[in-house]
Structure formats: structure tokens, C-alpha cells
């Protein structure tokens, strides 16, 4: 775990490349960063968590595998380049920035820099995949620096840097076009991902429920057609007698006779007609309201939704409607 407070800038004094997808960087650490340092310890290089594999005085080696080389700017570095450094936080340390894991999501490019006497505003390209997590006044890790996001535009976002940040980190020498590592705030990611997942589930439940209603409406329209063929006239609001008459007619005439009277019997679920006659008066009223383009009190009625799904041959998508906590 890291805090995003850069402790110093190190110089890459050697790079070993035994293969194209595996590099070893040897970094000279600044004074004060080698105390109690051990092999296996973690040090953030430009915000990327790397493991120490060898220690030779103030020269420390780190191995970079394929994923690290592809996802970060470390694979672009050469001997003589500098990196922001931070040792792993310990319990009891002050968290001056925000909690960071050292897991770089991707890189971005500096698009422009606005300078004034004491301040500097740096603009970065906004990666499409990170748009949900880059929020004005939220946290972001850039090359290992914990920074507050300023303005967020459609394709860019910026941070405002004070002289102390420019002095202690590589941002004092950064220029337009430079490639920067990004780590989004893990708490922001957790909240955004959870909300998006819940909203997607609710949307899916709504769609399935509406789909069931549409199937129910289509079914009832076909039912009206069958009633017409059986010479049963329904009033505007079908009553119990009419529905029971349909069920009676279904049982007395038999499936074969009705099947022969239909233009395409294989597309019509006639075996559900008997069940129609057993539905409650409330379901019938709600059905008529739905077919008229409305539901009771202009809102979804939970029981109607569930009955509608059952009648349409579907398993109800949830115990409650989404607005009542379906997740």
C-alpha cells in the first residue's frame, strides 16, 4: 500500500533486457530511502508497485514483466531517466495523500500545460475506459503522485500543482506529450462499479418485466380472436362469466376443434386459455388497464407484474419490483 506522497526521485543507472518481455531496472535511490531496505520489499516507481530483487548499496534492482511493460510508462524509460519513488506505507504512517495500491490501470498523455507565476495546471487526455472514475475533486494517482482532480471535460481532465509538487516530483520537468501512469482511486472504483452493476440489474429486471407484459398483451389479443371464433362476445371489461365461458368452451369443444379454427395453431398457446379463466378479478382489471396503456395509479403494480410474467410463461425476475429494492 502507498499514500501517493513521493519521497524522492531516483535515477535509472542500468537496464538489463534478457528478453523483449522482461526487463530489470537498476535504480539509484536518493539519500534516506535505503534505511532498513530488504529484498522482497515494495517500492513504487512512477506509481507502479515493484519488488526489490537485489540491493547493492543505494543501487536497487527491480524486475519488470510483460504486463508491467505494456501497461505502464516504465517500458519506455532508458538509462539516465528519472522515476518518482515511494516506499510502501507502514501501519501508523501518516496518510498524506490517499490509499493507493500501485496497480497502474493505463497510461495517458499530457495534452497541454498552463503556467502562471506560482501555479501550474496540467491537462491530460481522458482514457475512455476511465471516464466513470475521473470525477471533479476526486482523487487520482499520476506517476505515483496523489493529486486532486480539477476540471473534467469530455476528452480531458486537469490537476493543479503547487511549487512543492513541482520541486519534489517529476512534474517540474514534464512537458506536453509525455506519457504518465494512471491509478484511479480504489474506493471510487468500488463505488462506481457497484452502482453501475446494480443499475444494470435493475434495468434488466425492468426489461424482462416489460417484455412479459408485452407477451401477455399479445396473448390476450389472440385470446380475443379465439373468443370471436367461438362466437363469444366480450364486453369492454370482461367479467367472470365471460372468462369462465371461455374456459368451459375450451373444455367442452376440445382442443382439436379450436385448433382447426385457428390460422396458425402452432404459434398460439391454447393450453393457457383454461388458466385465464382462473385469474382473479384484480388481475383482469389490471390487464385491461395495461392494454389501455396504463397501470393502477400510473405505476407498475408488483402483483400484476408477477402475474403477468407467470401468465406469459416466465419465471418472475425478482420478488419485488426494481423500485422496491430488486438488486
CA count, 13 A, side-chain hemisphere, 271: 3
- The residue count for the chain: 327
298: phi > 0 → left, psi -120 to 50 → alpha, else beta; which? left
Tens digit of each residue's pLDDT (9 = 90 or more) over 44-80: 999 999 999 999 999 999 999 999 999 999 999 999 9
Tens digit of each residue's pLDDT (9 = 90 or more) over 222-281: 655 655 554 444 444 444 444 445 544 544 544 444 444 444 444 444 444 444 444 434
Contact status, residue 124 vs residue 156, Cβ threshold 8 Å: yes
CB count, 10 Å around CB of 142? 26
Tens digit of each residue's pLDDT (9 = 90 or more) over 99-118: 888 999 999 999 999 998 88
Contact status, residue 48 vs residue 180, Cβ threshold 8 Å: no
Least confident of 53-57, 71-75, 307-311, 323-327: 323-327
CA nearest to 47, candidates 140, 143, 124 = 143
Tens digit of each residue's pLDDT (9 = 90 or more) over 166-216: 999 999 999 999 999 999 988 888 888 888 888 777 766 666 666 666 666
CA 267, distance to chain mean position in Å, is 40
pLDDT at 187: 84
Whole-structure pTM value: 0.62
Residue 319, H or E segment: none
Question: Residue 284 pLDDT more than 90?
Answer: no
Contact status, residue 34 vs residue 82, Cβ threshold 8 Å: no
Amino acid at each position: 500500500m502507498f499514500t501517493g506522497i513521493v519521497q524522492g526521485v531516483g535515477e535509472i543507472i542500468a537496464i538489463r533486457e534478457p528478453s523483449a518481455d522482461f526487463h530489470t531496472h537498476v535504480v539509484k535511490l536518493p539519500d534516506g530511502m535505503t534505511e532498513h531496505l530488504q529484498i522482497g520489499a515494495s517500492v513504487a516507481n512512477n506509481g507502479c508497485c515493484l519488488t526489490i530483487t537485489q540491493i547493492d548499496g543505494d543501487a536497487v534492482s527491480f524486475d519488470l514483466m510483460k504486463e508491467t511493460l505494456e501497461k505502464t510508462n516504465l517500458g519506455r524509460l532508458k538509462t539516465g531517466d528519472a522515476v518518482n519513488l515511494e516506499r510502501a506505507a507502514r501501519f501508523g504512517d501518516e496518510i498524506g495523500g490517499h490509499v493507493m495500491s500501485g496497480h497502474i490501470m493505463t497510461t495517458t498523455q499530457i495534452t497541454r500545460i498552463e503556467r502562471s507565476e506560482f501555479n501550474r495546471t496540467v491537462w491530460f487526455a481522458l482514457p475512455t475506459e476511465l471516464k466513470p472514475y475521473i470525477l471533479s475533486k476526486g482523487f487520482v494517482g499520476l506517476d505515483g503522485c496523489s493529486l486532486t482532480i480539477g476540471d473534467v471535460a469530455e476528452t480531458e481532465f486537469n490537476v493543479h500543482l503547487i511549487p512543492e509538487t513541482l520541486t519534489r516530483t517529476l512534474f517540474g520537468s514534464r512537458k506536453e506529450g509525455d506519457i504518465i501512469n494512471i491509478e484511479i482511486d480504489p474506493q471510487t472504483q468500488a463505488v462506481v462499479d457497484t452502482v453501475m452493476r446494480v443499475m444494470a440489474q435493475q434495468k434488466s429486471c425492468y426489461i424482462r418485466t416489460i417484455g412479459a407484459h408485452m407477451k401477455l398483451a399479445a396473448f390476450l389479443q389472440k385470446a380475443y380472436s379465439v373468443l370471436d371464433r367461438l362466437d363469444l362476445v366480450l364486453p369492454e371489461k370482461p367479467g367472470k362469466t365471460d372468462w369462465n365461458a371461455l374456459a368451459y368452451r375450451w373444455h367442452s369443444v376440445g382442443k382439436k376443434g379450436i385448433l382447426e379454427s385457428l390460422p396458425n395453431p402452432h404459434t398460439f398457446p391454447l393450453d393457457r386459455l383454461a388458466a385465464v379463466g382462473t385469474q382473479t378479478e384484480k388481475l383482469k382489471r389490471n390487464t385491461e388497464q395495461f392494454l389501455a396503456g396504463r397501470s393502477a395509479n400510473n405505476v407498475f403494480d408488483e402483483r400484476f407484474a408477477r402475474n403477468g410474467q407467470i401468465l406469459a410463461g416466465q419465471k418472475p425476475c425478482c420478488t419485488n419490483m426494481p423500485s422496491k429494492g430488486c438488486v
